[in-house]
Each structure stands twice: as C-alpha cells, then as structure tokens.
Amino acid sequence: MVLYKIMKILITPKIIEALEYAAIAHTGQKRVVTGAPYISHPFGVSLILANAGYGEDVVVAGVLHDVIEDTEEVESTIAYKFGTNVSEMVHGASEDKTIKVRAERKLNHLEKLRNSSLEVLAIIAADMLHNRYCAMLELKGGRTREQVANDTTTSEYIREGFEKMGVIQERLHNEIVIELEKVMEEIKILFAQ
C-alpha cells in the first residue's frame, strides 16, 4: 500500500517503520563534522535510492545501512523486523567492525564489494554520494580539508573514495554512479586548493 508519492519517491509503512527504527538505533549519534543528528545521513541515502527508482527493500536497506555497523543492533533483529532480503543487503553494505585496523577493514570491505549484489553496490554508491555531497558542501562552507577527512589524511580520503568508486563502476552504471563521479571530481579539486 503506497501512502504518498512525490516524483519517484514512495513512502510505505515498511519505509516509515525503518526510518523510525533507524532513528531510535542512532539516538544520540551525530554527524562528525556538522553535529547534525545522524539519522539525516540514512534518510539522505534512502532518498537517493528512491529517486533512482529502487524498490522498497533497497530503500529500507539504505535507511538501515549503518545500523549494524554503528549501533548495538544486530542483523537477526533486522531480519525479523524487515525480512532476510533487507538484512542481507544491510550486512553486505556494512564494514566488519571486528577488524580493528582501519586499513585492513577498508581492504576487507573493498573485497566484499567485488562480490556484492547490484543492490548492495547501489546502497554503497548512495552512501558515498550522500557523504561526499555533504563533504563538498562543508568544504564550500569553510570547513578545512582535515575536518572533512575526519580520521584519515586528506590523500587517504580521496584515494579510498576513488578505490571504492572504481569497484562500484566495474558493475553498476546508473544515475547514482554518474552523480558520484561528478561529486568525487569536485571534491578532488576542492581538496587540492
């Protein structure tokens, strides 16, 4: 049952439930650079996926993509509440936080993405697009490269972004990836200034 439709965006009871679940799971978390409530990021990712025409389960997984990675929630709860398909996509999009060394965790995630479904790649592309778009706005708004790069050097931030985008581009070709390519190039220019 569709409750509301604007352009390609469909709001369904399952999407509303996912937004509420993610908002509660991310309670107290903030975006590192801006301090905005963290839920603004999963919501942004879900809007990107919905506008690209992805179905309900992919949009829900986009809302929940950081829940396993960044909260105390577990995959089995997501499977129970939202279905196995959603939980598998969320798992596929999540980094393995048991790998404590950042470089090893990022490499592991890149390898995992090489074998991921197109839906998981779309979620990762939407996640990157939202993060990089926010970074671009923050740089244009006067934040320093170091503030935006957060826990990495600025060269690592750029390199890791292009590496991940390269893995996505090998198999996924859609409007999200096209926009991500543009934003990544603009960030590269802004970081060079």
Tokens describing residue 100: 């404590």
In 3D space, the residue among 38, 64, 26, 41 whose CA is nearest the CA of residue 134 turns out to be 41
73-112 burial, b at 16+ Cβ within 10 Å, e below that, comes to: beeeebbebbeeebbbbbbbbbbeeeeeeeeeebeebeeb
Question: Which positions ≥6 away from 79 have C-beta within 8 Å?
Answer: 86, 87
Active site residue 95: no
Active-site option among 20, 56, 57, 69: 69
Active-site option among 17, 70, 95, 179: 70
Active site residue 69: yes
Tokens describing residue 50: 């919905």
- Which residues belong to the active site? 69-70
